[in-house]
Amino acid sequence: MAVGRRSVRGHRYVDSPVLALALQGWRSRTVGLLLMGAFVALLVRAFYLQVINNDFLQEKGDSRYLRDIEISASRGKVMDRHGDMLAVSTPMKSIWAIPVDARNMTADQKRRLADMLEVKPRELDARLAADKGFVFLKRQVPPQVADQVAAAKLPGVHQEREYRRYYPAGEMTAHLVGFTGVDDKGLEGVELAFQSSLLGRAGARTVIRDRRGNIVEDVGATRPPQDGKDVVLAIDSKIQYIAYSQLKAAVIEHKAKAGGVVVLDARTGEILALANWPTYNPNNRSALSGAQLRNRAVTDTFEPGSTLKPFTVALGLDKGKYRYDSVIDCAPGRLTIGKATISDAHPHGKLSVAEVIQKSSNVGTTKIALSMPAEAMWSIFDGLGFGRTPELGFPGEVGGRLRPWKNWKPIEQATMSYGHGISVSLIQLARAYTVFANDGELKPLSLQRADQPLVRGQQIYSPQTAREMRAMLEMVVGPGGTAPKAAVPGYRVGGKTGTAHKLEAGAYANKYIASFVGMAPMSDPRLIVAVMVDEPSDGRYYGGDIAGPVFSQVMAGALRSQGIRPDAPAANMAAAKERS
């Protein structure tokens, strides 16, 4: 018994035939190779994913917690020729939310947020109910309001920096400078015309955010912002104020519908002032109408009336068909062409060419025009830029209407010679008068300050013709002329009045546009001022009575502002004061 127990206790179970594994050698080797192959495959896959194809996995990982935040670039400033600010960006905040998190706000917190943002609670609830991961609650919030929102520590509510455009000159330069939208993109005026230069380029920085949108870590800037370039305009703010205030007063005084004023540097073609009425405040555009937004000096056209006569008469002089003192028989103050009759406002007898301009005779101008080919007259008008856009790059600029000369009938050539049957903008008309100020050379216009040498223009008339026309234009403002109210004390000035019926539904209505375009000082013209008043309704409508005084005040202020010395004799100064 004892021996048997020892044998049981001393037995090695591993040697038991029952427990022996009947596995053939090739099978064990196969299993070992498979396991080793799987391990190698895992190593290769891991190397591929972590080394060769690392970018893909890194991108997938980063997309779950890395975010690029835009760094706003400041829009470039708009300045006048002396560096005075016309448009500048001020830092603001935008309040935004993650709706799924913001819904955790209590009713009292929502009420407080709506009060701070000055929005209706219903509007706030509608935005937070949106099925989006991001919604703006209010754009361009003042810093003090943004600080109040931040101090409230509302769940899901965040803010970021952006800029809002501010216009120091307000309505005075509204049509010229224009304005931007809430996204800081130009919508009107210079803001739109120079959008690519002013806009700049936003930057970006990379941050780590948690699921609630909170920034956990700032990884660093990936692209620095590039602020927009500043734009320096040719505008002189002092002259702009004078033009704006005088135009506004005239439109109100004469109960007119609208008006415009343009002031040019006669030598360089720079636009020193451009004003319209009615206007608007670009800092508060909550209630605007289309009439307020229209930059009438650039986008509206009208029949220029007698302001076009000097160009017709100048053509006659330039062709050698007439001289300064050539006599034109204008009696009895009427001229019949076909079935139409052309009349003078005041009948005249025999007038010299100079007196045709001084007295503004339609009959005299028509006789000069009909003595020349229609093509020659069309070529002059076309060369002056009528019928073509001024190419300022200004939004909405128009070319007006100039029909091909081959389609002209004699009566049409006649009426166009004194500014009917043709349409121009005020900026076109002002530019055309640079030919008389620059010895026959038409100057290109510029919205920006001209720092480069003067650009040569296009020679339209001979220097002699331009000088003779200046003498005639000076007679218009003198005794016996149609615009004594346009005189400027201390300076020799010249110009031309315009009084034209308005076209409505293809017919002339009993409504008028009064205009005046002139220059000073006549000894060496430096400035050109063009004035247009639309539909004066206080009983007066002649250009000399309505637009002439505006020209006088604007020109006087501009000449003094530029420091241009008086060139009128003492006797002329006293006479001008008496007439004005």
Q: Which residues are catalytically annotated?
A: 306
Q: CA 559 to CA 527: how far, in whole Å?
A: 8
Question: Closest Cα to residue 262, out of 253, 272, 254, 251?
Answer: 272
Determine the Cα–Cα distance for residues 273 and 526; give it in Å rounded to an integer: 14
**For residue 492, what are the contacts with CB-CB under 8 A and spacing of at least 6?**
474, 520, 521, 522, 523, 567, 568, 572
Torsion region of 202: left, alpha or beta (phi above 0 gives left; psi -120 to 50 gives alpha): beta
Comparing CA positions, the residue from 185, 192, 305 lying closest to residue 546 is: 305
Give me the amino acid identity at 571.
A
3-state secondary structure 283-299: CCCCCCCHHHHCCHHHH
What lies within 8 Å, CB to CB, of 313 at 6+ separation is 322, 353, 356, 357, 365, 368, 469, 472
Q: Which residues make beta-bridge pairs with 73?
A: none
Separation CA 410–CA 117 (nearest Å): 68
Could you tell me which residues are beta bridge partners of residue 501? 512
Q: How many CA atoms lie within 13 A of 293 on its CB side?
A: 13
180 DSSP β-pair partners: 186
How far apart are alpha carbons 135 and 98 in whole angstroms? 7
Residue 183: Cβ-neighbour burial (10 angstroms; 0-12, 13-18, 19+): exposed
Instruction: Indicate the pairing of strand 334-337 with strand 441-442.
Output: unpaired
DSSP element (H, E) containing 342: strand 340-343
Rg over alpha carbons for the chain, rounded to the nearest Å, is 39
Least Cα distance to 512 among 484, 485, 540, 486 occurs for 540
How far apart are alpha carbons 173 and 191 in whole angstroms?
Answer: 12
Q: Largest Cα–Cα distance in the chain? A: 168
* 339 touches 379 (CB < 8 A): no
Residue 187 exposed, middle or buried by CB count within 10 Å (0-12, 13-18, 19+): middle
Who contacts 191 (Cβ-Cβ below 8 Å, separation ≥6)? 78, 87, 165, 177, 178, 179, 180, 198
Residue that the structure tokens 């800037």 belong to: 221
